[in-house]
Amino acid sequence: MGKRFALRYLWSLRARKPLVFQIGQSAQRLIISASVLNHFTKHQQLDNGSLEAGGQLFARFLDEYVTISKVTGPRAADHRSRYSYVPNRGEEQREINDMHRRGFHFVGDWHTHPEPIPTPSPSDISTINQAVAKSQHHLLGFIMVVVGNGSFPSSLHVSLNTATSHLQLLPTRYYSFAAGNGG
């Protein structure tokens, strides 16, 4: 077992608790399940040659909790480089239809950055603003998660985006209930 692989393996064991984020000043909470966090860790850009990865986020809604418990991507048909990621639109639509049949709703996108404290680029923000404006949905906005190459939660940038706004969501310290963690 190589050192890098061993570290990655240990880190994946650590990431088994869900993370909870406040949604602005509201009582709503966004939960990212442990299985989704583990999926992110598998695609972190930990070495010089690794490419950006990304995909879609799917959630269930229960009371004031939005729980992201399914994640997709990257796919063979995506265009990926070290500093860019362009998903395949056809695959995305197929995933949305498939997840919808299983009771999971599209809530946003994720992609990686080769930096420890990730911040979305201006084009990341304008892309998701336009996606919210163009699509038909019943959401307040779309979630964007940028996954950096450090440890969580500091290496996750989570935001709620409308057609015209971008709000970073901050992690809460407490995880005090067991519902909705459909893993």
Residues that bind Zn ion (CB under 5 A): 121, 124
Residue with tokens 């418990």: 69
Please say which residue, 18 or 148, places its beta carbon nearer to Zn ion: 148
| Residue nearest Zn ion by beta-carbon distance | 124
d(CA 69, CA 32): 7
Torsion 157-178-68-4 (CA) sign: positive
Smallest gap from residue 98 Cβ to Zn ion (A): 25
Smallest gap from residue 84 Cβ to Zn ion (A): 8
CA-closest candidate to residue 128, choices 106, 109, 146: 109
Alpha carbon 147 to chain centroid distance? 7
d(CA 63, CA 54): 28
Q: Where are the alpha helices (DSSP H) in the chain?
A: 3-14, 34-43, 89-101, 122-134
Residues 6+ apart with CB under 8 A from 155: 44, 116, 117, 118, 147, 148, 149
Residue with tokens 């949905």: 137
Smallest gap from residue 122 Cβ to Zn ion (A): 10
Smallest gap from residue 54 Cβ to Zn ion (A): 8
Please say which residue, 78 or 124, places its beta carbon nearer to Zn ion: 124
Please say which residue, 97 or 154, places its beta carbon nearer to Zn ion: 154
Please say which residue, 92 or 124, places its beta carbon nearer to Zn ion: 124
Smallest gap from residue 5 Cβ to Zn ion (A): 26
Please say which residue, 20 or 78, places its beta carbon nearer to Zn ion: 78
